[in-house]
Amino acid sequence: MQFVRLEKDKGSKQLGFTEFEKKVLRCVLTIPLGETRTYKWVAEKIGRPKSARAVGNVLNKNPFPLIIPCHRVIKSSGSIGGFSCGKANKKKLINLEKKIKNMLK
């Protein structure tokens, strides 16, 4: 896993996010702790219903995988899908978040 070092006040401009990428990442930030959504859901939510594969490509390049919770996005079939930090870690994060959410009920 790689982390991007940001220089002061350059933010997403330095990283070169497109408007589409920004929409995807912002949308993923709205997925609640302990819950998952599909790539298709994200695509529909940002107004690009046929872009589920492109959503996956954006999330694969997510430079902040623990801050922008791309691990909460799964395939429509219910299978886990990919994760830059590994599928096993994706499953662990999803399960950990579910446990945390249940503890806070």
Write out the catalytic residue numbers. 70
Residues 6+ apart with CB under 8 A from 33: 97, 100, 101
Burial 45-83 (b: 16+ CB within 10 A, else e): bbeeeebbebbbebbeebbebeebbbbbbbeeeeebbeb
